[in-house]
Structure 1
Amino acid sequence: MPKPSQNTTPLLPTHLMQLATGFWSFKTFAGALEIGLFDLLAAGGELTMEEVSAELGIAHRPADLLLAGCASLGLLDKSGPRYRNSALAEEFLVQGRPYYFGGYIRYLDRREYPAWQHIVEALRTNRPYTWTPGTQESLFDTEDPETLRLFWDCMHSLSTSTARALAEVYDFTPHTRLLDVGGGSGAYPVELCRRFSHLTATVFDLPHVGDLARRRIAEAKLDGTVDAVAGDFNRDPALPGGYDVIVLSSVLHDWDEETGRALLRKCRAALPGGGVVLICELLLNDERTGPPAAALMGMNMLVETEGGKNYSAAEYGAWLLDAGFSRVEVLPLDAAGANGVVVGHVG
């Protein structure tokens, strides 16, 4: 029997330690955002630990630990005794910046993080824990203004940067009118119409979401270029017509396969020859073994939805062909909210 190699590296639980303590990073990050650290250091501000302690009204010990933690995560830089925002934090974590990402962090911290405490129950019961089936139709069915604000700030944060990335990989020049189905706050139409000045767009979403979209559209000074139309893409028999490109961003993963296929059939019926539907998602590989961002977003759908899950590009491709699209292509995307775009072409 051969002897074990003397050079064999022992198996260690280092990776398990990293997995087990992942929440340390998130809660440090979320705590710094909530307490106002990045806003304090905005616009090139540099402060010592003692000055941060005084400005935030916290003792030296927690200030020291928070600053060290954020620096270790790449959120702060340090020169001598003074800390400043890293380029990443200055760009995305200061309120008022065009591509502020803090809405997403706050939503995760206040709504999803508590729900994930019930992950075992979700696995056993196959039900969501961020809302209550039976009393609400879906996670989007709420009249609580704070919940609505948190959710749509979150989605706007995520969608804005993803829309920018989409504009880099897909050329909208041949299209003139865009319909963003389930478009929420209008992040995609706003970004895409800024980039492609010939384009006009419509956000199609539930009535109570329309006001949120109109506010964002007005802030972007795109009234007359982007508008919002009320509707329910699940209940309405058809989507609005007259558009040659339809965007479905982080929509299909909220629902089961039957619902997704039905929506793609409506998209096909609404599009003219030469039209396209763009499915922007965190796509699983064909083997459904990763990447982690897509697989773990699927787990998040367990606590957020009744039937949602993340799908592969191959699955979406099959749905598109079955719905009557003539050709499918997949474009890689490097963005926070999507790693690929599945394009369904109408012949």
Structure 2
Amino acid sequence: MNTAPETHQITPSRIMETALAFFASKTLLSAVKLNVFTVLSGKSLSGKEIQAALKLHDRGVYDFLDALVALGFLNREGFLETARYSNTPETGIFLDKHKPSYMGGFVEMANDRLYPFWGSLEEALLTGQPQNEIKHNGKPLFEELYAKPERLKQFIDAMSGISIGNFMALARKFDFSPYSTLCDIGGAAGILSVEVAKQHPNMSCISADLPTVEPIANEYIASKGMSDRVKTKNVDFFTDEFPQADVITMGMILHDWDLPNKKMLIRKAYNALPEGGAFIAIEALIDDDRRKNAFGLLMSLNMLIEFGVAFDFTGADFERWTKEAGFRRVEVIPLAGPSSAAIAYK
């Protein structure tokens, strides 16, 4: 009888899987960009039918579709020419443009903007300089985004797609009963305000952003029948004080800036709140030990690529900065996936 202890065999499998993870990433990004999951909305189709709908070349059709099956993004019955393909529950909910839960806007932006920029990560790490539009035309990211309506719409759709699950979770998990007013700073399409107002009849909300965003937000708010409970307001958070409210929220705003600007935004939030008010920052908070939330750490690298000086942060960082501003207590509520709500009480 062999009584020797089992030894763990070291293999390069995880190295290879991660080194070539961009194969899988680009396959999914391309599927969203080509509308694979929308074409399959509520039905199954053959490979030839999908090929005709998407105008794909013969060579890659089955490799592409079967790769999506192997990656878990499509279901399949049959084989090659006899196969019928359909969405999985996840892709049917989140990547079908016909669904209000569609989050493909973020995936589309990842394909069009982030994917090529991440090819320059080494340069960002060596120089500390952003690798986005500013590298090619000298214009800062937000100036470039806000100057082109189609770019701005894509960016807002992207932020909406990555954030809606978090906003729904916040509206469900945070106790809004002691409060009556909310102002969402950098509110984009107004999704956070709409979700809170929908779930809490006691709340009146303001979605505050720059004037170019206001038509997009008003259209979304009206489409949800919430125009009586959710209003928009033009606010430049660098030059304006924040509107007074019981709750101030920021969804993926703080991580866009360097430390002095983070602290400036926190001070403005403190000044806009009454005693007992709450400041809520929704972010992909890095765990305090910086070992577990890989998404948060990778998002911080994305901030390096986008802005150079910007970075993501831990709950402990947030607590230190907010208490320095005068907040008395902090808590963290997990939301969807790797994201959390960091909450500071005045």
Q: Using structure 2 for the length normalisation, give the TM-score.
A: 0.92
In structure 2, what residue type is equivalent to 1:24? F
**Distance in 2 between the 1:244 and 1:26 partners?**
41
C-alpha displacement at 1:10, in angstroms? 3.3
C-alpha displacement at 1:121, in angstroms? 1.5
Q: Structure 1 residues 203, 193: closer, same or farther in 2, change over 3 A?
A: same
Match of 1:100 among 80, 99, 102: 102
Q: Structure 1 residues 245, 39: closer, same or farther in 2, change over 3 A?
A: same
In structure 2, what residue type is equivalent to 1:318? R
Higher-helix-fraction structure: 2
In structure 2, what residue type is equivalent to 1:51? E
Equivalent residue for 2:54?
56
C-alpha displacement at 1:140, in angstroms? 5.0
Matches within 5 A, 1:24-39: 24-39=23-38
Equivalent residue for 1:286?
288
Q: Structure 1 residues 106, 323: closer, same or farther in 2, change over 3 A?
A: same
Q: Quick check: 1:255–1:306 contact (8 Å CA) kept in 2?
A: no
**Distance in 2 between the 1:311 and 1:104 partners?**
21
Matched, 1:115 2:114: no
Q: Quick check: 1:249–1:280 contact (8 Å CA) kept in 2?
A: yes
**Distance in 2 between the 1:333 and 1:160 partners?**
11
Equivalent residue for 1:18?
17
Equivalent residue for 2:186?
182
**Distance in 2 between the 1:251 and 1:184 partners?**
11
**Distance in 2 between the 1:344 and 1:99 partners?**
29
In structure 2, what residue type is equivalent to 1:55? A
SS at match of 2:155: helix
Cα deviation 1:284-307 (Å, max 9, x = unaligned): 122323410100000000111132
Match of 2:149 among 124, 142, 145: 145
Equivalent residue for 1:204?
208
Identity over aligned pairs, percent: 32
Equivalent residue for 2:330?
328
Equivalent residue for 1:261?
263
**Distance in 1 between the 2:75 and 2:109 partners?**
26
- Cα RMSD (Å): 1.8
Q: Quick check: 1:165–1:333 contact (8 Å CA) kept in 2?
A: yes
Q: Quick check: 1:181–1:246 contact (8 Å CA) kept in 2?
A: yes
Q: Quick check: 2:166–2:339 contact (8 Å CA) kept in 1?
A: no
**Distance in 1 between the 2:161 and 2:177 partners?**
25
Matched, 1:249 2:248: no
Equivalent residue for 1:73?
71
Equivalent residue for 2:132?
130
**Unaligned regions of 5+ residues in structure 1, if any?**
none
Which stretch of structure 1 is more off in the superposition, 311-320 or 122-131? 122-131
Q: Using structure 1 for the length normalisation, give the TM-score.
A: 0.92
SS at match of 1:329: strand
In structure 1, what residue type is equivalent to 2:213? V
C-alpha displacement at 1:6, in angstroms? 7.3
C-alpha displacement at 1:47, in angstroms? 1.3
Cα deviation 1:293-335 (Å, max 9, x = unaligned): 1000000001111321110000100111111111111212233
Q: Quick check: 2:132–2:141 contact (8 Å CA) kept in 1?
A: no
**Distance in 2 between the 1:128 and 1:61 partners?**
38
In structure 2, what residue type is equivalent to 1:90? G
In structure 2, what residue type is equivalent to 1:150? Q
C-alpha displacement at 1:34, in angstroms? 1.8
Runs of 4+ in 1 over 4 A off after TM superposition: none
In structure 2, what residue type is equivalent to 1:76? L
C-alpha displacement at 1:60, in angstroms? 4.2
Match of 1:161 among 145, 154, 165: 165
Q: Structure 1 residues 6, 330: closer, same or farther in 2, change over 3 A?
A: closer
Equivalent residue for 1:47?
45
Q: Quick check: 1:139–1:304 contact (8 Å CA) kept in 2?
A: no
**Distance in 1 between the 2:141 and 2:60 partners?**
40
